[in-house]
Amino acid sequence: MAMSGVAAREIAGVPGAAKAASALDVRADFPIFARNPGGPGERALVYLDSGATSQKPAVVIEALAEHLRHHNANVHRGVYALAREADAAYDAARERVAAFVGANPRTTIFTKNATEAINLVAYSWGRAEVKPGDAVLITQMEHHANLVPWQVLCAERGASLRYLEVDEQGELSLEQLDAELARGDVKLVAFAHTSNVLGTINPVAEIATRARAAGAVSLIDGAQAVPQMPVDVAEIGADFYAWTGHKALGPTGIGVLHGRGELLEEMQPFLTGGGMIASVDFQRATWDELPYKFEAGTPPIAEAVGLGAAVEYLDGLGMENVRAHERALMEYMLERLGQVPGLRTVGPPASPSAERRGGLVSFTMEGIHPHDVAEMCARAGVCVRAGHHCAQPLMRRLGVAATARASVGVYNDRTDVDALIEALIQGREVFGL
């Protein structure tokens, strides 16, 4: 596999450089950075928006192209050699993706994205199990993907939707969780592994354990966590765990749902049609076995192959190394952001909580609208996101209309952070601050 791997790199004269000694040095694996590498007179691409979508290493791009060039056929239908190759590639991708997060391939379902994975549970499990008078418990930090499906479900079923609050540190309270569970009506607890706005890493195994003890089913939205840290879904022990390929160096168009086998067996299909049946007569049909029961129609075959290559690449780097790299980078970013006058970060504070924070930070700047912050950064070649980040209720809780957000990936280093800080300081000058 073509990759630069983990390289020891000293950053002379930079405070805390020792912590960055195991930094990843993999930018050359990502062709997009060759587009404008920052030669003389040229602005380097400073990509600090991996929370929205990650860039793709050459091995992923090549795996997709190789599959489409040489092995393309539909799956689970044909007997000819090409079809068998496509079957083998799709099945191998599922095994690789499942192994990456300690899951069983049989209970690993490919979807379109994390949003669809969560909707699958809301429709197939939720419509059958949530009754009038029941409650669904989510948190104030959820992305709309893990909020709107529960709103719609609760409205439809006459159930109540309740929220775990986010405190001033951007964290949840296990005491409030216990109090909510003690009310005895909670059917489901759904929560993010890592918040896409606050960066908070939640104690997911603990929440799932407490939910189970109270007789509630748990669902974790791991869209931001899987790309950033070692995740073992069996160890976490939730009933459902959803994530999305495009944030984890894979292609768009593929997401993943891991589910508890007994629950998936009992659930009715989400979508119906070809590919998910055992047999069909004029009036009724029976369903295929797991995981195919939940994969109606032609699945995202090339995308699965691409995601397989992505997780193989991440495995090659080592997720412990990915986490260490991003954590060190975030420590540096929080320290440098703290030097920008009038800038306020949200989420767990810089110190001592790098441990409780993933690879992103949202912030506001006094006197400059977040959209102007993003625009100023864009002019300096720095890609950051501004807006409500698909978390409007959380924006309300934080008392802001929007924030700017910088998020890191395996290919970022301190020079990217320095470019961001420079753009912010220059921006303040433009605004006469």
Ligand X SMILES: Cc1ncc(COP(=O)(O)O)c(C=O)c1O
Min separation Cβ 145 and ligand X, Å: 4
Nearer Cβ to ligand X (126/427): 126
* DSSP SS3 for 205: helix
| 196: contact with ligand X by CB under 6 A | yes
| 330: contact with ligand X by CB under 6 A | no
Q: How many residues of this chain bind ligand X (CB under 6 A)?
A: 15
Nearer Cβ to ligand X (99/390): 390
What is d(CA 414, CA 185) in angstroms, rounded to the nearest whole number? 48
| 200: contact with ligand X by CB under 6 A | no
Phi-psi region of 400 (alpha: psi -120 to 50; beta: other; left: phi over 0): beta
Give helix then strand counts, H and E, for the chain.
Answer: 14, 15
What is d(CA 429, CA 432) in angstroms, rounded to the nearest whole number? 5
What residues between 137 and 176 interact with ligand X by CB under 6 A?
143, 145-146
Nearer Cβ to ligand X (246/356): 246
Residue type for 79, please? V
| 303: contact with ligand X by CB under 6 A | no
Does the annotation mark 377 as catalytic? no
Q: What is the SS3 assignment for 312-361?
A: HHHHHHCHHHHHHHHHHHHHHHHHHHCCCCCEEEECCCCCCCHHHECCEE
User: Which of the stretches 25-33, 66-74, 111-119, 322-330 binds ligand X when contact is defined by CB under 6 A?
Assistant: 111-119
| 119: contact with ligand X by CB under 6 A | no
Nearer Cβ to ligand X (180/221): 221
| 226: contact with ligand X by CB under 6 A | no
Give yes or no for a contact between 386 and 371, defined as CB atoms under 8 angstroms apart.
Answer: yes
Min separation Cβ 144 and ligand X, Å: 8
| 113: contact with ligand X by CB under 6 A | yes
> Which residues, in sequence order, are bridge partners of residue 143?
none
Nearer Cβ to ligand X (147/376): 147
Give yes or no for a contact between 107 and 290, defined as CB atoms under 8 angstroms apart.
Answer: yes
What residues between 244 and 273 interact with ligand X by CB under 6 A?
244, 246, 255
| 114: contact with ligand X by CB under 6 A | yes
**Strand 160-164 relative to strand 135-139: parallel, antiparallel, unpaired?**
parallel
Query: Active site residue: 154, 377, 383, 390, which one?
Result: 390
**Strand 343-346 relative to strand 46-47: parallel, antiparallel, unpaired?**
unpaired
Min separation Cβ 164 and ligand X, Å: 15
Residue selected from 224, 321, 364, 403 as contacting ligand X according to rule CB under 6 A: 224
Nearer Cβ to ligand X (107/115): 115
| 115: contact with ligand X by CB under 6 A | yes
| 357: contact with ligand X by CB under 6 A | no
Q: To 10 degrees, what angle do helices 414-430 and 319-337 make?
A: 30
What is d(CA 242, CA 221) in angstroms, rounded to the nearest whole number? 5
| 238: contact with ligand X by CB under 6 A | no
x-or-dash string of contact with ligand X, 386-415, rule CB under 6 A: ----x-------------------------
What is d(CA 194, CA 70) in angstroms, rounded to the nearest whole number? 38
* DSSP SS3 for 383: strand
* DSSP SS3 for 379: helix
Active-site positions? 390
Interface residues toward ligand X, by CB under 6 A: 113-115, 143, 145-146, 192, 196, 221, 223-224, 244, 246, 255, 390
